[in-house]
Amino acid sequence: MTTVIAFMGAGSVVFTRELLADILSYAELRDDVTLALHDIDPERLETAEAIARRTAEQLDAHPVITASLDRRAALDGAHFVINAIQVGGYAATVRDFEIPAKYGLRQTIGDTAGIGGIFRALRTFPALDAIAADMAELCPDAWLLNYTNPMAMNVAYLGHRAPKLKVVGLCHSVFWTVHDLAELLGVPLDEVDYRAAGVNHQAWLLRFAHRGESLYPRLDALLENDPELRRRVRMDMYARLGYFPTETSEHSSEYVPWYLHHDEEIDRLRIPVGDYVQISADNVAEYEHTRDVLRAGEPLPLPERETAEYAPQVIHSIVTGTVRQIHANLPNKGMITNLPQGYAVEVPCVVDRLGVHPQFVGDLPAQLAAVNRGLVSVGELTVRAALDGDRRMVRQAAMVDPNTAATLTVDAIGALCDELTAAHGDLMPETLRQ
């Protein structure tokens, strides 16, 4: 049976290129797969199709490739749906930074929690509703592999709105954290044993060992002798909390109330305020460069090995029965016992022919669960605001956000939420616009 993989937001060309290269590198998929590409932007969709055909040609693979502006056409009969949409694109991201900055609110990435994460989620939920409804009709047994941020809010929202949908959130942060720490400590990555759990972009390395021996003492010694290494947010968090967070310092700085509203902390820890606006601009430039390379008929640079992205691995495991362990995001159904049930958590998972199976973690160390609950509370209120159509809950989500609450008065938070709601216009759920 031919495996059908639908790409929602295929115009995210850098990401799509990496996923396609990995998928078509598997012998079992390279000649027996249909790649159904969808995007709402005709030029980006055209570029994505060209990427797919050029990648297949360079890898001597023979997939069936389709491209459609019609989402339903791409979803019809799919076995896997990879979601990488960004509702509102670059312009919406800029609004999420420029408007809060007027109020004195600093952000770095703004895609997971905080004001940026809240409004990115609220823009995304209507699109998730549409995708879920189409999948229920056209491919009810398909797996939805979500990459779109804010990951935890999106997965939790779908858990409420489409409980029968087989959805799993995939993120590379755990893998790359371990990869970079292993490199820092001079330890071969394939000899490192690790296990993480928490919330997406704020999970924790509960186990980090080499040949049965914890690597934390070696990291402690390195930090003690390297004052410049200590000038990073997550190194600071690790030193204070005892477990290493699995997301970059830029991300981590805006999930807690301790750093961004102190000028001296921004300087001490070298925090790049507003960093994601430039990252987003760079992504646009990379898209344009890739488009021009394809139009000139030049070869595409392909990954020299499998990337850390999980979607190709999940697809391969379910299709072939190859057993793998990954870290993924699913609604909490008793996996982490001291975080709220139903909200999305990031835990170790086993993947096999039957799907993705989350593993029991139990209680997180108390201090880690306490920090996680800050993100969870923001997400729960944001999801509930959309489910109930309650604008007050949008404000309440912002009011309990650690960074926002540490920076703004409650009146300023209300005014900021109103201004962002008006600025995003009809991208917002209809019930939250008035």
List the catalytic residues: 172
Report the distance separating Cα 14 and Cα 48, nearest Å. Answer: 9
The two structure tokens encoding residue 430: 């209809």
